[in-house]
């Protein structure tokens, strides 16, 4: 969500060897033979126990939401539902919940003394805007000709999302990239005679063609390409810790791949490139594979 969104000792004992009588040294052996016996290994020390561990958590504990937090002292590994979650040297971290996240999630911190701190999380369900259509969903997938174009685009998008730039924008309060009419909500979906279509993966803002838009948080440009079949002119920014923004349908891009950008810096102009019915900015957020609601990062449109 982004409250508390909110956490064996191993004792090694040196063994004592028993020497069979047939191998015992003769009582006539020189005294200095006793000094040649192997020294006994000292008892291995146990890890010092840590103080009681707790998580400090805040955020939006709901589908499409996020949490920021601090792991307990001594944490060496953090997981969410069994999957590793990175945390910074100051013990702070970001985690998030997919649009279709279940009602329960679990954070587990494994600590240097062998202890574990477990934090269950309750994820609230959202009421998405669902439109029921009295028509059959289109059958058949994309053509082979289209996929020859699309596959390299998807490969570029996936490679960009996998980049780790060390950006720290994930720590910030996000701002709106542009202000205007919201023409499409995150999570909205059409149901075709009982068969669900794909849900809307971002938020659409329609301020008018040519309107400048800005970076919602600090980050590094990991993709800036023109002419994608669906996205048109596509810009992607890594905010760090697995969180990234994508901006679709731009009329023009002002930044290039590898460039570090600051919150509020102009990135491009709103347009209608790619598959768009009119000029708008489609802004989507992902944390690893989880699709997130930008509204939960910014708050309502001012």
pLDDT at 85: 98
- What are 31-41's pLDDT values in tens digits? 333 344 445 44
- What are 238-292's pLDDT values in tens digits? 999 999 999 999 999 999 999 999 999 999 999 999 999 999 999 999 999 999 9
Residues 165-188 have a mean pLDDT of 97
Q: What burial letters (b/e) apply to 140-162, b meaning 16+ CB within 10 Å?
A: eeeeeeeeeeeeebeebbeebbe
Q: Considering only CA atoms, which of 157, 182, 194 is closest in space to residue 294?
A: 182
Give yes or no for residue 9 having a pLDDT over 50: no
- The residue segments making up the domain with residue 153 are 130-298
pLDDT at 2: 38
pLDDT, the chain, mean = 88
Phi, psi of 262 (to 5 degrees): -105, 150
CA trace torsion 259, 263, 266, 268 (10° rounding): 70
**At 235, is the pLDDT very low, low, confident or very high (cuts 50, 70, 90)?**
very high
d(CA 61, CA 64): 9
Of the residues 64, 98, 122, which one is the last residue of a structural domain?
122
Phi, psi of 23 (to 5 degrees): -105, 0
Of the residues 101, 122, 143, which one is the last residue of a structural domain?
122
Domain count, the chain: 2
Q: What is the CATH number of the domain that holds 106?
A: 2.60.40
Q: What is the percentage of the chain residues whose pLDDT exceeds 70? A: 85
Residue 30 is assigned to a structural domain of this protein: no
Using DSSP bridges, classify how beta strands 116-122 and 130-133 pair: parallel, antiparallel or unpaired.
Answer: unpaired
Give yes or no for residue 176 having a pLDDT over 70: yes
Residue 4 is assigned to a structural domain of this protein: no
Please indicate, yes or no, whether residues 143 and 226 belong to a single structural domain of this protein: yes
d(CA 114, CA 73): 13
DSSP one-letter string for 148-165:
HHHHHHHHHHHHHHH---
Residue 47 is assigned to a structural domain of this protein: no
């Amino acid at each position: 969500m982004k409250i508390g969104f909110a956490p064996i000792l191993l004792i090694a004992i040196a063994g004592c060897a028993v020497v069979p009588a047939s191998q015992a040294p003769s009582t006539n052996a020189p005294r200095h033979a006793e000094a040649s016996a192997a020294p006994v290994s000292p008892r291995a020390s146990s890890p010092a126990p840590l103080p009681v561990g707790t998580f400090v958590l805040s955020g939006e504990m709901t589908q499409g939401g996020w949490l920021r937090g601090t792991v307990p002292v001594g944490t060496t590994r953090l997981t969410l539902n069994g999957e590793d979650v990175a945390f910074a040297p100051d013990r702070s971290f970001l985690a998030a919940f997919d649009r279709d996240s279940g009602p329960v999630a679990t954070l587990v911190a494994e600590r240097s003394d062998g202890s574990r701190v477990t934090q269950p999380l309750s994820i609230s369900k959202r009421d998405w805007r669902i439109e029921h259509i009295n028509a059959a969903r289109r059958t058949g997938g994309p053509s082979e000709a289209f996929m020859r174009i699309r596959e390299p685009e998807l490969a570029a998008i996936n490679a960009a999302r996998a980049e780790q730039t060390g950006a720290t924008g994930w720590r910030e309060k996000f701002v709106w990239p542009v202000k205007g009419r919201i023409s499409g909500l995150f999570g909205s979906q059409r149901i075709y005679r009982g068969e669900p279509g794909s849900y809307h993966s971002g938020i659409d803002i329609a301020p008018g063609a040519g309107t400048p838009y800005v970076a919602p948080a600090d980050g590094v440009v990991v993709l800036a390409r023109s002419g994608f079949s669906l996205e048109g002119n596509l810009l992607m920014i890594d905010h760090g810790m697995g969180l990234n923004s994508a901006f679709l349908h731009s009329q023009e891009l002002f930044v290039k791949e590898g460039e570090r950008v600051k919150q509020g810096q102009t990135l491009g102009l709103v347009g209608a490139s790619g598959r768009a019915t009119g000029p708008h900015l489609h802004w989507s957020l992902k944390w690893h594979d989880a699709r997130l609601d930008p509204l939960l990062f910014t708050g309502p449109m001012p």
